[in-house]
Amino acid sequence: MVKVKEIVQRFEKFAPKAIAEKNDPIGLQLGSLEQEVTKMMVTLDVRPEVVTEAIANKVDFIFAHHPALFIPIKSFDLADPQNAMYAELIKHGITVYAAHTNLDNANGGMNDWLAKALGLSQTTSLLPTREQTWYKLAVFTPLEAAKAMRQALAKAGAGHLGDYAGCSYSLTGTGRFLPEAGATPYIGTVGEFTEVKEEKIEVVFPSEIKDNVLRAMRANHPYEEIAFDLYQVEGLGQKTGMGRIGMLPKPMPLMDYVAFCKERLNLKGLRLVAKDQTKLVQRVAVLGGSGAKFYPFALKKGADVYVTGDVSYHTAHDMYETGLAVIDPGHHFEAICKPHLQTLFTEWQAENNWGIEVIASRLTTDPFEYI
C-alpha cells in the first residue's frame, strides 16, 4: 500500500517546493502524509462540490493546483461553507496536498502545458530564470564505516543526478588527530597522536534536502567530532522561471488567434485588450493564473500578444496604451492541468507499482458564467 508521502516525494522531484514563489502556501493542506492511498483525484480547485465528488468516488487523496488554505482559519465555525468543507474532508479521511507556483515554474509543468495548447514552439521562460541551489558534501570517514555512510547519504537523497541515484566519489587518505583530555575517541587513545586510514566521500544534493543529508551523516558517523566540508556548487540546479514566450508557426490575424485560443482552451468567452485588432501576431507570451502585473516582461521580450488571467481595469488601460494585445481567458484556464497531472501520476504509479487509481475531477470550478 502506497502512502501520500511517497506520491508527494515523486512529484517533488518533478516540481520541488524550492522553486515555488515566496510565501506560497503549498504542500500538505489537510490530513496526513502517512495516509494510505488506493484512489487519488487531481483537481484545479478544492471546493465543496469537488469534495462531494471525491467522497462519492471513494477518494483517499486530493492533489490540487490551487491551495485549499490560502487564508488561515481564525474560527472553525461550521456555518462557514469553507470550514464545513474541511470538516467533510476530515470526516472521510481525505488528505489534501497543493502544488501551486512550484507547478507553474516547473520545466514541463503548467506553463509548458499552456504554451503547447496555444500552439507555441521555441519557448523560453517569460520571467527571469532562477537556478536551484545545490551543495557538495565531503565527509571524512574511517574505512570500515565508509560503505554504511555512502548508503545512508544515498537513502537521504544525496547523489541523485538525473536518472542516476547514489552517485558519489571517494578518495582514500590519512587522517591525523590528537585526542585531548575529555575526549572519548572511536579510534586512538587520549594523549596519543593518531593516524588512521579514511575515505573522503563526496556527494551533491539540492538545498531542500540539506538538513536530511546532514542528519544522515551525523547519525552514521562513528566519530564524536566529524570532519566535513560543505559548500555551494554551480551548474547542477534546475533552471526554472515563470511563464513562457514562444512562436506560432506563422503570423496570423489577432482575431483569428483569439478564436484559436477559445477553441484550444474550451472557452465560452474571454476578454480582449487590443488597441489594434487588425494586427498580425506570431510572438506569444503566456502566464497561467493572475499574470497581469508581469506584462512589462512580455513587452520587453517583444511579444505581440500576452495570454493571462485576471486582468484588472486600470492595468488593462496601461496595457492598451502600450499596443500589446492581451487575451484574458480567466484564471480557470489553468484547468488544463487536470488531464496532464492525471497522466503524470498514472505513469508514476505504473513505474513504482503503487497499485492506485488516478482520476481527474470532472467538475468545472470556474465561478464566472458568460451570459
> Do 140 and 84 fall into the same domain?
no
> Do 33 and 78 fall into the same domain?
yes
Confidence of residue 140 (pLDDT cuts 50, 70, 90): very high
- What does the pLDDT read at residue 371? 86
Domain-located, residue 368: no
For Cα atoms 140, 141, 145, give the angle at the middle one, nearest 5 degrees.
Answer: 165
Confidence of residue 218 (pLDDT cuts 50, 70, 90): very high
- What does the pLDDT read at residue 370? 86
For Cα atoms 334, 369, 263, give the angle at the middle one, nearest 5 degrees.
Answer: 50
Domain-located, residue 259: yes
Instruction: Please provide residue 194's backbone torsions phi and psi, each rounded to the nearest 5 degrees.
Output: -125, 140
> Do 197 and 255 fall into the same domain?
no
Q: Quick one: what percent of the chain has pLDDT higher than 90?
A: 93
Q: Which residues contact 271 (CB under 8 A, 6 or more apart)?
A: 311, 327, 328, 330
CATH number at residue 195: 3.30.70.120
Looking at residue 326, its amino acid is V
Q: Shortest CA distance to 287 belongs to which of 319, 341, 331?
A: 331
Q: Give the bridge partners for 27, in sequence order.
A: 98
Write down which residue in 206, 233, 260 finishes a domain. 233
Mean pLDDT, the chain, integer: 96
Domain count, the chain: 3
Neighbours of 224 (CB within 10 A): 10
> Do 162 and 308 fall into the same domain?
no
Domain-located, residue 268: yes
- What does the pLDDT read at residue 72? 80
Is 309 a residue whose pLDDT tops 90?
yes
Looking at residue 303, its amino acid is A
Domain-located, residue 370: no
Least confident residue range of 50-54, 179-183, 332-336, 338-342: 179-183
> Do 171 and 245 fall into the same domain?
no
Domain-located, residue 365: no
Condensed to tens digits (0 to 9), the pLDDT of residues 156-201 reads 999 999 889 999 999 999 999 999 999 999 999 999 999 999 999 9
Is 132 a residue whose pLDDT tops 90?
no
Domain that holds residue 187: 133-233
Domain-located, residue 369: no
Condensed to tens digits (0 to 9), the pLDDT of residues 53-107 reads 999 999 999 999 999 988 888 889 999 999 999 999 999 999 999 999 999 999 9
CATH number at residue 20: 3.40.1390.30
- Global confidence as pTM: 0.86
Q: Which residues contact 32 (CB under 8 A, 6 or more apart)?
A: 4, 95
Q: 65 and 43 in contact (C-beta within 8 Å)?
A: yes
> Do 152 and 117 fall into the same domain?
no
Domain-located, residue 258: yes
H or E segment at 4?
helix 4-14
> Do 229 and 141 fall into the same domain?
yes
> Do 302 and 224 fall into the same domain?
no
> Do 227 and 254 fall into the same domain?
no
- What does the pLDDT read at residue 163? 82
CA torsion sign, 211 to 216 to 219 to 224? negative
Confidence of residue 27 (pLDDT cuts 50, 70, 90): very high
- What does the pLDDT read at residue 37? 98
Write down which residue in 202, 233, 264 finishes a domain. 233
> Do 123 and 257 fall into the same domain?
yes
> Do 121 and 248 fall into the same domain?
yes
Domain-located, residue 367: no
- Per-residue pLDDT, averaged over 318-339, amounts to 98
- What does the pLDDT read at residue 354? 97
Q: Give the bridge partners for 40, in sequence order.
A: 61, 358
Condensed to tens digits (0 to 9), the pLDDT of residues 254-294 reads 999 999 999 999 999 999 999 999 999 999 999 999 999 99
> Do 116 and 251 fall into the same domain?
yes
Q: Shortest CA distance to 114 belongs to which of 303, 246, 271?
A: 246
Is 217 a residue whose pLDDT tops 90?
yes
